[in-house]
Amino acid sequence: MKVLLTSGSLNDSEKKGVVMKSFFKPLGRQSGFTLVELMVVVAIIGLLSAVAIPNFKKYQAKSKISEAKLQLSAAYTAEQSFFSDFNMYHNCLPYMGFDPGQETPNRYYAIGFAAKTAVNGNAYTAAINSGLDTAGCDNGTTAVSGSTVAGTRSANNANFFAAGKGTGGVIATVVGWVAGSALGDQSSTSLMTFTISAGGAISGDFSAADSSSLLDINHNKVLRNVRNGY
């Protein structure tokens, strides 16, 4: 704002007053946020956080499911390779070439069979005649857990592999996390079946074994998401 000062019309004191007013007047016109406006902004941020944070947690949990799918796919491949050699399925997973025990510290999911089940005696004898090593793949019913130490190979006849990571202080370390897994007795074509399960705590809101994430795959390569667990 320009102020035109003419000589003779204003004295020195009046001139100074006009200049000061012209300097401070623009400052007086500046505006800010009122308290109500600030409170509305805070409320909006809180609302967005309430919606975004749970969705972010679900996204994090969902991303972990890919681990279970990869592990189940590898177990399926091992079982089918074993079947092509011995015309039956079994639960000696490391003997087949599937040993996730060495990766335990990096896994959220326990995987395998909940119980060690013996197969039909005739089917097992036929497998021995085809070259099956009974020391590496026995036909006993005593459950064997895989290694939980990184870089340490599991026993050949292991049927269950515990997880090493979890959520909410809960880690899938016992066979209860792979409920629904089963091995057919291999005595006939209809009973030459298997279902391998993978279960893990991937969300703090669903950290119990009966509510956590659970997936499985069977001899027909049907992969099921039994429970989301998030």
Question: pLDDT tens across 50-78, in order?
Answer: 766 666 566 677 889 999 999 999 999 99
Q: Which helix (H) or strand (E) holds 52?
A: helix 35-86
Which residues touch 169 (CB under 8 Å, ≥6 apart)?
207
Check pLDDT > 90 for residue 158.
Answer: yes
Q: Please tell me the predicted confidence (pLDDT) of residue 61.
A: 73
Average pLDDT over residues 90-99: 98
Closest to 137 (Cα-Cα) out of 188, 183, 191, 197: 183
CA dist 76 to 90, 153, 197, Å?
11, 20, 11
Check pLDDT > 60 for residue 19.
Answer: no
Beta bridge partners of 199: 110, 214
Higher pLDDT residue, 7 or 41? 41
Beta strands (DSSP E) in the chain are 109-112, 160-161, 166-167, 170-171, 182-183, 194-200, 213-218, 223-227
pTM score, whole prediction: 0.76
Counting residues of the chain whose pLDDT is more than 70, the rounded percentage is: 81
Domain spans in the chain, listed from the N-terminal domain onward: 65-227
Tokens of 150: 């990184």
Q: Please tell me the predicted confidence (pLDDT) of residue 3.
A: 46
Q: Please tell me the predicted confidence (pLDDT) of residue 59.
A: 65
Check pLDDT > 80 for residue 125.
Answer: yes
Closest to 192 (Cα-Cα) out of 205, 183, 181: 183
Per-residue pLDDT reduced to its tens digit, 202-225: 998 898 999 999 999 999 999 999
